[in-house]
Amino acid sequence: MELTDSELVQKCQAGEMSAFQELVSRYHQKVYMVILGLLRHREDALEVAQETFFRAFRKINSFQGGSSFYTWLYRIAVNMAIDAQRRQKRNPLDFRENMDDLLEAQNEVAQDPFSDVHDRELRESLVKAINELTPEHKAVIVLRTIEGLSYKDIGEILGCSEGTVMSRLHYARKKLQDKLSAYL
């Protein structure tokens, strides 16, 4: 029978590395997705995701179970991603090259006879528009869209109230609607 996150955490705290491995297995893609949504740079997102789990391992004994494990983990991930984003000193050319890679990858996956130019342009514009949001607005959009997390959970992760989450989401969505109106 599959163990719950809490049970796995308890085993980790007792020193069982296999329990931590299972937690990494469950969350590594989700954590990566959230971080990629914030950083928009593949290598950086991978590096930050790995560092997130390393930090989580170091701090596992301090996890008291006051929140769910995944909100605790996402809090570490989002804080690290926002830190990395502020440190990101990519020159526009590097950024442009990486963005092109990302968009190409998405187009490869989406490349089927029914995928049209319009959708491709929407994806490109969406990536750019998300990137123009502030880190805080980006974080709420990514956490809500990718993970479907509740406002309460998002608030716990970002250390703000549900009301703040709601207003940030509203603002971010309005911004995206305005910028993408031609493609929606």
Q: Does 170 bind other proteins (CB under 8 A)?
A: yes
Give 65-68 contacts, CB < 8 A, sequence gap 24+. Answer: 65/6, 65/9, 67/156, 68/5, 68/153
Pick the piece of the chain touching other proteins (CB under 8 A) from 6-14, 66-74, 77-85, 91-99.
Answer: 77-85
**Dist. CA 46–CA 67, nearest whole Å:** 25
Site membership for other proteins, residue 53 (CB under 8 A): yes
Q: How far apart are CA 49 and CA 29, in angstroms?
A: 9
**Whole-angstrom distance, CA of residue 95 vs CA of residue 171:** 25
How many residues at the interface with other proteins, by CB under 8 A?
A: 60
Residue placing its CB nearer to other proteins in the complex, 94 or 101 = 101
When asked if residue 60 is in the footprint of other proteins (CB under 8 A), the reply is no
Give yes or no for residue 65 binding other proteins (CB under 8 A).
Answer: no
Alpha helices in the chain (DSSP H): 5-13, 17-39, 42-59, 69-87, 92-110, 117-131, 135-147, 151-158, 162-180
Which position among 9, 19, 36, 39 is part of the footprint of other proteins (CB under 8 A)? 36
**Residue partners of 161: CB distance under 8 A and separation at least 6:** 155
Candidates 5-13, 64-72, 90-98, 125-133; binding stretch for other proteins (CB under 8 A): 125-133
Nearer to other proteins (CB atom), residue 13 or residue 160: 160
Distances (CA, A) of 68 to 9, 48, 71, 147, 153: 11, 21, 6, 14, 9
Residues at the interface with other proteins (CB under 8 A): 21, 24-25, 28-30, 32-33, 36-37, 42, 46, 49-51, 53-54, 57-59, 62, 79-80, 82-83, 86, 102, 105-106, 109-110, 119, 122-123, 126-127, 130, 136, 141-142, 144-146, 150-151, 158-162, 164, 166, 169-170, 173, 176-177, 180-181, 184
